[in-house]
Structure 1
Amino acid sequence: MAAKSQDLGDARWDDIRIFLALHRHGSLGQAGVRLGLDTSTVSRRLTALEATLGARLFDRTREGLVPTRVAELVLPAAEAMEAAHRRLARDASGAEADAEGVVRLSVAPGFADSFVVPTLARLRARHPGIRIELDASVRVLDLTRREADLALRSVRPEGADLVATKLASGRWVAAASAELARDAGRVEAWDALPWITWDRDLASFPPALWLARHAPGAEIALRTSFFRSQITAAELGLGAVLVPEPYLRVHALAPLGFAGALEASAAEWPIDHLWLVGHRALRDVPRVSAVWSFLVEELRSR
């Protein structure tokens, strides 16, 4: 059955509600339990919705229902209808909408380990119905194509479909283990220390450029583009490292003291910004809105 349109304008809200329950729970039985309907009613209403759209929404398998590509295409519109319906009910009764379902979050690996993962137990305690899928890779996911629901980025993405808010700004600083920082004292030349830096695939990354410019003759104790490994190596005393200043509060690292002659080079330490980014169409969906508000609260306080 070919899709006539991904427009849900002709669909009834009750059928959209069933579609969302089926997408979230993956079976007619579980969706029925969630909605207080018997399985035959859920199946009949799903068939009616598919007829309205002119497209199959789920493949029926032994393991349950598998969303089709059309189902993924109409999901944002269905969630927007859900958000509008809940806003209407909330405004009328003062009741707060439940937040439940999967939220896919894209975060750089080092930031995920240090700042996001430690907050997830608090998020679950507040919103037990939300399940997080964390993509902690260096690959930049495309929010406009629904590769993620929310992202934390150091550069604000452009696009009319995206909304963003700045959470923080922080300068990179030279740091080392407490023992190495104490032994180094007031550093007279950046070249005098062994350094941990980025691998050649990220040679154009601003912290790597700073080190190449201001410590060209330094011994490189470790090259790796895995930031968590850089931090662990620095904590163990392998060498000095450039890190954003907030990391000093969550890792066993101390800022390096330096002589006045190095003040000009220290003034060139890169500055990072932290942006929370989402798709405009999903911003008021309860599960996305709840995680958005939680991240703003948690990360602006650091």
Structure 2
Amino acid sequence: MNWDHFRFLLALARAESLSGAARRLGVDQTTVARRLAAAEAALGHAVFDRADGRFVPTIRGVDVLNRAADMEIAVEDACYPDTPESPQGAVRVTAVPWLIQRVLVPNYDAFGTVYPGIALSLLPDSQNLSVTRREADIALRFARPDGDSGALSRRVGRVDFVPCRSAESPAETLPWIAYDAAAGHLPQAAWIDAQADPAPGGLKVADLETAIAAVQAGIGRTMLPAPVAAGLPGIAADGPPVLEREIWMLIHARSRTRPSVSAVADWLISALRRGNFA
């Protein structure tokens, strides 16, 4: 079994679909399916189960994928020696979209200047990409993690949420903009539900950027991260913060000693501090 089979397995694990893996690799779905069949035949067991249209690693598949990810890192290190004096290589960071767009991207210039050898990928995703499955090297999350058993975690910051409204509209005239059921598990969604009019109707959103646009348009009021709201034109805080969430960083146990990963982790912490999320 050659390395190329492992490359296809990793792409499928990260995309969870034949079409997604095909896009990542620049091939068609038939090629991905053929490589998967060849890899599983060579290994003598299934690497994935098919569940609800997704490819989910089996118990034995997780071990194969971890070894494949180690091989991937070894190949990268061979091509780009990753040393404390000159960190190099690819590092993938995942977080919710608004944290990447409003905190990390504005702070990238300083990082790119100091670490020109690191190819940093920022992966916005609200569904918690897995560090254990090597879908990302580092993850930032808003709750203490309990699922990524192969990852090391540490609390690196906090964020206050504050009720917000359009600066031009009195709060008492505005309805609450609630979250759609897809985001109903969020603490800020539950807080809004406790305040909102239980009658049907009204606007619901599923992400922070839509909520911001709705508040700026004067449609209603909602909960926003205080440091973000403070820098937004046309938005005013409607009282003090009423909710706090912790920010946790996850790093795969086998990646923590890579100088490039350590450099990115340090930069993430400094970016959070500069954004008043510490």
TM bucket (normalised to shorter chain) is 0.5 to 0.7
Q: 1:110 to 1:256 in 2, by over 3 A?
A: same
Letter of the aligned partner of 2:163 in structure 1? A
State the distance in 1 between where 2:253 and 2:191 align: 36
State the distance in 2 between where 1:80 and 1:124 align: 19
Q: Say yes or no: does 1:108 pair with 2:96.
A: yes
> 1:141·1:147 contact (CA, 8 Å) conserved in 2?
yes
State the distance in 2 between where 1:125 and 1:170 align: 28
Aligned partner (choices 177, 180, 186) of residue 199 of structure 1: 180
Give how far 1:219 is off: 8.4
State the distance in 2 between where 1:76 and 1:156 align: 27
SS at match of 1:194: coil
Aligned partner (choices 235, 238, 253) of residue 256 of structure 1: 238
TM-score, normalising length: structure 2: 0.66
SS at match of 1:157: coil
Aligned partner (choices 105, 126, 147) of residue 117 of structure 1: 105
SS at match of 1:281: coil
Aligned to 1:178: 167
Give how far 1:75 is off: 3.2
Q: Say yes or no: does 1:279 pair with 2:252.
A: yes
Aligned partner (choices 57, 75, 86) of residue 72 of structure 2: 75
Q: 1:278 to 1:194 in 2, by over 3 A?
A: same
Aligned to 2:12: none
CA deviations on 1:41-88 (whole Å, 9 max, x unpaired) are xxxxxxxxxxxxxxxxxxxxxxxxxxxx775442346779999994xx
> 2:167·2:236 contact (CA, 8 Å) conserved in 1?
yes
Letter of the aligned partner of 1:239 in structure 2? G
Aligned to 1:58: none
CA deviations on 1:166-219 (whole Å, 9 max, x unpaired) are 222223211112212xx33xx5xxxx5222221122233222222222223478
> 1:144·1:161 contact (CA, 8 Å) conserved in 2?
yes
> 1:224·1:230 contact (CA, 8 Å) conserved in 2?
yes
Q: Say yes or no: does 1:228 pair with 2:209.
A: yes
Q: Say yes or no: does 1:154 pair with 2:142.
A: yes
Q: 1:167 to 1:300 in 2, by over 3 A?
A: farther
Structure 1, unmatched stretches of 5+, are: 7-68, 87-95, 258-265
State the distance in 1 between where 2:232 and 2:82 align: 45
Q: 1:149 to 1:285 in 2, by over 3 A?
A: same
Give how far 1:164 is off: 2.2
Aligned to 2:52: none
State the distance in 2 between where 1:147 and 1:111 align: 18
State the distance in 1 between where 2:177 and 2:82 align: 53
Determine which structure has the larger helix proportion and give its number: 1
Question: What is the aligned-residue RMSD (CA, Å)?
Answer: 3.2
Aligned to 1:291: 264
Bigger Rg, structure 1 or 2: 1
Q: 1:153 to 1:85 in 2, by over 3 A?
A: closer
